[in-house]
Amino acid sequence: MLTDLTIKNIAIIDTLHISFRQGLTVLTGETGAGKSIIIDAVGLIMGGRASADLIRSGADEAVVEALFDISGQPEVARKLRDSGFDCDNELLVKRSISRAGKNRIFINASMATLALLADIAPRLINIYGQHESQTLLRPENHLLLLDAYAGLNPQREEFARSFERFRALQERLATLDEEEREAERRLDLLSYQSDEIGRAELRVGEEEELEERRQLLAGAEKLGSVSAEAFERLYEGDGAILGQLRRIKNSIAEISAIDRSLEGLAASLENAYLQAEDAAIMLRDYASRIEADPLALQQADDRLDLIHRLKRKYAPTVEAILEFKQGLDREIETLLNREQDKHNLEEERERLAHDVQKRGNDLTKRRSTAAGALSKALAAEVHQLAMKNAVVETLLEPLAEPRSTGYERVELLFSPNPGEPPRPLARVASGGELSRLMLAFKQVLPEGDVPTLIFDEVDTGIGGATSEMVGQKLKKVASVQQVLCITHLAQVAVFAGQHLRVEKQVANGRTTTRVVPLVDGERTHEVARMLAGAKITDSALTHAAEMLAATGG
């Protein structure tokens, strides 16, 4: 609720501080005293347009400050904390307007944006009577009012969630369709690459083995001729080394019998002979195995060329190529599963479409029933508020395409005079009529969540018993929400729990506005003025006292 309002240098207001209480507060006073200026100042706190024309003559800056108790509004506090503002149970909003164009907004002493203020302010205050801030003038609010009346907010929220899921799925499927052609091209490429690598049947370590085998095949002729020649020289040729070595070792063995110191040498020569003989046999066997094989060499060359080509194309090593193929196969599997995924999504879309249709049809049916009841309830209320011939209709118009709010738009139509067809509120309702319509809504709707309501011009064009009825209805609303009301009618003012008189005064040649809280006799005197005019009679004072006593004021 709004607890304090401070205004500096706006129009004829120099400095003004007002403390407000819970319940119904009325502001009264002569025409031109500055009551509407106070409402304009509150409009600035709500994020309304700031103009240098509002600044008091002779001043460079105008300031409005409003202090709110938000202890019962955890969502507002959470919104502020999420936006980076310290917030407990109190909220201080300050707005300054400069002739130099430097307009600033502060929330709890920290600079804030107009967007944030415009977001949270409607959660704090609603003003009824000024066209620029009229809830009823925005048709998008009419559906919300109808749903609130019918208790359909949970159903609307469930429909919205279902609808948003359906729409998101529609967008996903549309994206899949757009991606389908590209996916097919991608699948063709991946399949070709995977098949190419798969056909190669690569094996880790194979390349090194092939390189070694190729080297042997390429040198087969030389290997065979060299090994054969070595065997020839060691074993079979004229003057073969083994024959000479045999004669030498036999000779040394012979003389070692004479000189035993040569026995070691004889043994060494025997070992050398045996090793050379083994080497000759190995060379013979090796030479017999070596055979030039151009076909095997070509096959090795072809296999190595294939591996090198795949390495240039896919990865620097055989191991990396095989890992690359694993990635290809995983992506291929994903792409091949697209059809199944799409099928599953289409089945889910059908299920959601059925759910959306079922919930939407239910909402439409309930709204259609509630629309007639709301129209009758509002008509009954406004007929008690000096609009006995007024007609209120709640129009449901099917939408070409459903929205998250349902299958229809809702608009309130109004006719204040007999013989005139009901038309949209924005075209036909005056400020006072809108205020009374909103007051009527407050009678038929469940308790609202906006803590402070301001009614301006609610008593325009009414009097007598109707004005008393307005006062009673305002008091009823004020039992659950803080209500501020500007009124010229004593029959309304006497229902207030707090009565403030707005008056002009002249000091040092300047006109200023002040607000005086009225108690006891002061209030009786003000009510009498409202009844009798400038000349207050004893009978007016008596009547005022009786009215206050009757209403508990």
Q: Which residue has the tokens 């059925």?
A: 354
Instruction: Enumerate the domain spans of the chain.
Output: 185-336
Give the whole-angstrom CA distance, residue 521 versus residue 515: 17
Is-contact 527 548, C-beta < 8 A? yes
- More reliable by pLDDT, 328 or 182: 328
Residues, the chain, total?
553
Give the whole-angstrom CA distance, residue 265 versus residue 256: 9
In the prediction, which pLDDT does 131 show? 47
Give the whole-angstrom CA distance, residue 280 versus residue 549: 140
Percentage with pLDDT > 90 across the chain:
35
In the prediction, which pLDDT does 21 show? 94
**Mean of pLDDT over the chain:** 86
pLDDT band at 133 (very low <50, low <70, confident <90, very high): very low
Per-residue pLDDT at 237 exceeds 80: no
Is-contact 375 394, C-beta < 8 A? yes
Angle made by CA atoms 262, 264, 265, in degrees to the nearest 5 = 65
- More reliable by pLDDT, 102 or 167: 167
What is the DSSP track for 296-323? Answer: HHHHHHHHHHHHHHHHHHT-SSHHHHHH
Run of H or E including 412: strand 406-415
Run of H or E including 98: strand 90-98
Note the maximum CA span of the chain: 172
Output the six-digit token pair for 444.
């038929």
As a whole number, mean pLDDT of residues 231-256 equals 81
pTM of the model: 0.62
pLDDT digits (tens, 9 = 90+) for 39-74: 889 989 988 888 888 899 889 999 999 999 998 888
As a whole number, mean pLDDT of residues 230-255 equals 81
In the prediction, which pLDDT does 132 show? 42
How many whole angstroms from its chain centre is CA 494?
48
pLDDT digits (tens, 9 = 90+) for 92-123: 999 999 988 888 999 998 999 999 998 888 88
pLDDT digits (tens, 9 = 90+) for 422-469: 998 878 777 777 778 888 888 887 666 689 989 887 777 777 778 888
